């Protein structure tokens, strides 16, 4: 839909008086009706545009709404469809419902009953699938653009789809949603297989993806089904595809171009008939420049691309997102959902969320588990939210080889940050550090001192993630307090 308020609705009925009444009710509910009086006319209209919703009569002069429904479902896989008929058939109603029909109504139909059904259908439109990713919640222009792009991509199941975005933005969730939109009511019964390419050893990658025959390599004592074969007819999702070994990228390219593959040790080509999706949090152009990604593979994958924006670019969704996530977390732990304070939500709005939606979810989950079950309000640990400086936002941090905690930070390129030498990071006299803790404490204190109290910059200097350093600072609150004071 172009906006949360407007929706397009196809009305197929040869009773012009009845369809006129339906059109008026659709417009009163914020819809844009398109009336057709025959199956042929409806097919002609469907070839030119798609619809968010459809209301079909069954018995028409040149066919049936039942037959047209199947064509409509292929063209508009996420449309909410209702059937209205004066001659109901139980077997037909059952079959249509199994294939995703939203409601089956009978004539005569009261206007109030149709409006009630129409409003339920609009709620379904705002949530494409009740089992879809809860992190894709909100009404920001960025999110609506994502949903619209996914709906468009669902119409072309043979075209590869590339999901781009920072870590934690929900690329895996978008992939699942696209799978649901592509296959509609059948999504739960067709395969969806995801492969985290970074988790597969390079020497096993080819067999994992393409499969292998018995004896294809040392230790191969049986035939192995690859993920491509297992996902046939459904969806294959290659997460972090930039980790695919360079020698195998040529074979992957041939597979994407021809839809054919050959398992290791086999002489027979097989054909794949499903959808292929890939995701990465890296810059494709930079990966090509560094020689880690074939340029022709980049062009082949980047046919239909969807960029998942970071949470800081869709902060208008944060409140609704937090409420939704908290509700699901409360259900997960079989607890009553506590309320969120307005000042806590306001504080969250000022946090840059480098970990994006995943970071928000982790924060809410940690806070929920620390909140007593009988508490009315959620106790959010806002002390974990340390605002990042502009120089340390994820979009501007240079990618560098990781440095260990005990490595020397002397030559760190971040050391140009002004030093706040007046901050005291010395342990209080009452604290006794173990022989193992003392060196780590001093290294962290030194990094914080050198970086002027900047926790994110100190973490980068030490070769730690932001969260890893925060966990260490939880043990030593005086260091955290001194950094926060700065």
pLDDT value of position 174: 92
Tally of domains within the chain? 4
CATH assignment of the domain containing 290: 3.40.50.300
CATH assignment of the domain containing 380: 1.10.8.60
Q: Is residue 395 part of a domain?
A: no
Does one domain contain both 156 and 257? yes
Model confidence at 86: pLDDT above 60: yes
Q: Give percent of the chain above pLDDT 90.
A: 20
Model confidence at 477: pLDDT above 90: no
Does one domain contain both 178 and 209? yes
pLDDT value of position 23: 93
Distances (CA, A) of 424 to 65, 236, 386, 436, 448: 77, 54, 19, 22, 10
Predicted TM-score (pTM) of this structure: 0.54
Q: Is residue 38 part of a domain?
A: yes
Does one domain contain both 187 and 292? yes
Does one domain contain both 120 and 155? no
Does one domain contain both 260 and 298? yes
Read off the pLDDT band of 34 (50, 70, 90). Answer: very high
Q: What is the pLDDT of residues 35-84, one digit of tens each?
A: 999 999 999 998 888 888 999 988 888 888 888 887 787 778 778 888 88
Does one domain contain both 239 and 362? no
Structural domain ending residue among the three candidates 126, 149, 180: 126
Q: What is the pLDDT of residues 294-312, one digit of tens each?
A: 999 999 988 889 999 999 9
Q: Is residue 205 part of a domain?
A: yes
Q: Is residue 57 part of a domain?
A: yes
For 171-185, what is the mean pLDDT? 89
Structural domain ending residue among the three candidates 384, 414, 431: 384
Does one domain contain both 299 and 325? no
pLDDT value of position 295: 92
Q: Is residue 479 part of a domain?
A: yes
Does one domain contain both 97 and 222? no
For 407-435, what is the mean pLDDT? 43
Does one domain contain both 175 and 250? yes
Does one domain contain both 408 and 379? no
Q: What is the pLDDT of residues 347-400, one digit of tens each?
A: 888 888 888 998 898 899 889 998 998 888 998 877 656 444 443 333 333 333
Q: Is residue 278 part of a domain?
A: yes
Q: What is the pLDDT of residues 97-135, one digit of tens each?
A: 656 778 878 878 888 888 888 887 876 665 444 334 455
Q: What is the pLDDT of residues 269-297, one digit of tens each?
A: 999 999 999 999 988 888 999 999 999 99
Torsion, Cα 466 171 144 347, to 10 degrees, reads -20
Domain enclosing residue 445, as ranges = 403-485
Q: What is the pLDDT of residues 180-200, one digit of tens each?
A: 889 887 887 788 888 888 888
Does one domain contain both 163 and 282? yes
Choose among 424, 422, 385, 409: nearest CA to 459: 409
Q: Is residue 1 part of a domain?
A: no
Per-chain mean pLDDT for the chain: 79
Does one domain contain both 159 and 285? yes
Q: What is the pLDDT of residues 126-140, one digit of tens each?
A: 544 433 445 577 778
CATH assignment of the domain containing 22: 3.40.50.2300
Q: Is residue 175 part of a domain?
A: yes
Structural domain ending residue among the three candidates 126, 159, 187: 126
């Amino acid at each position: 839909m172009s906006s949360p308020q407007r929706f397009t609705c196809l009305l197929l009925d040869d009773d012009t008086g009845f369809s006129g009444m339906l059109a008026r009710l659709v417009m009163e509910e914020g819809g844009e009706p398109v009336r057709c009086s025959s199956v042929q006319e409806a097919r002609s209209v469907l070839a030119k545009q798609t619809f968010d919703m459809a209301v079909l009569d069954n018995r028409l002069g040149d066919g049936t709404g039942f037959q047209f429904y199947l064509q409509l479902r292929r063209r508009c896989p996420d449309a909410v469809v209702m059937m209205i008929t004066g001659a109901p058939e139980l077997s037909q109603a059952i079959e249509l419902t199994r294939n995703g029909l939203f409601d089956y109504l009978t004539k005569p139909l009261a206007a109030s009953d149709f409006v009630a059904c129409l409003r339920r259908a609009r709620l379904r439109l705002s949530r494409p699938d009740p089992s879809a990713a809860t992190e894709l919640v909100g009404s920001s222009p960025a999110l609506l653009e994502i949903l619209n792009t996914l709906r468009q991509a669902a119409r072309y199941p043979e075209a590869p789809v590339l999901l781009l975005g920072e870590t934690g933005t929900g690329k895996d969730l978008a992939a699942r949603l696209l799978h649901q939109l592509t296959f509609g009511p059948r999504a739960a019964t067709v395969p969806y297989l995801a492969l985290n390419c970074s988790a597969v050893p390079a020497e096993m990658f080819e067999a994992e993806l393409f499969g292998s025959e018995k004896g294809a390599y040392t230790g191969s004592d049986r035939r192995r089904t690859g993920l491509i074969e297992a996902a046939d007819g459904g969806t294959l999702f290659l997460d972090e595809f930039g980790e695919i070994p360079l020698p195998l990228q040529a074979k992957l390219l041939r597979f994407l171009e021809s839809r054919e593959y050959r398992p290791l040790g086999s002489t027979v080509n097989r054909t794949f008939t499903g959808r292929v999706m890939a995701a990465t949090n890296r810059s494709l152009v930079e990966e090509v420049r560094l020689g880690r990604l074939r340029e022709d593979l980049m062009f082949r994958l980047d046919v239909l691309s969807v960029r998942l924006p970071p949470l800081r670019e869709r902060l208008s969704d944060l409140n609704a997102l937090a409420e939704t996530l908290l509700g699901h977390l409360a259900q997960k732990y079989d607890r009553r959902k506590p309320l969120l304070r307005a000042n806590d939500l306001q504080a969250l709005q000022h946090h840059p969320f480098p970990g994006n939606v995943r970071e928000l979810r982790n924060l809410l989950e940690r806070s929920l588990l620390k909140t007593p079950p009988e508490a009315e309000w959620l106790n959010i640990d806002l002390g974990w939210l340390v605002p990042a400086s502009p120089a340390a936002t994820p979009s501007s941090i240079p990618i560098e080889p990781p440095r260990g905690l005990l490595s020397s930070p002397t030559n760190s390129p971040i050391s140009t940050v002004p030093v706040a030498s007046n901050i005291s990071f010395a342990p209080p006299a009452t604290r006794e550090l173990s022989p193992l803790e003392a060196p780590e404490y001093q290294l962290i204190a030194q990094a914080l001192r050198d970086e002027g109290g900047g926790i994110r910059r100190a973490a980068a200097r030490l070769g730690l993630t932001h969260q890893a350093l925060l966990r260490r600072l939880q043990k030593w609150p005086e260091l955290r307090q001194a950094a926060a004071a700065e």
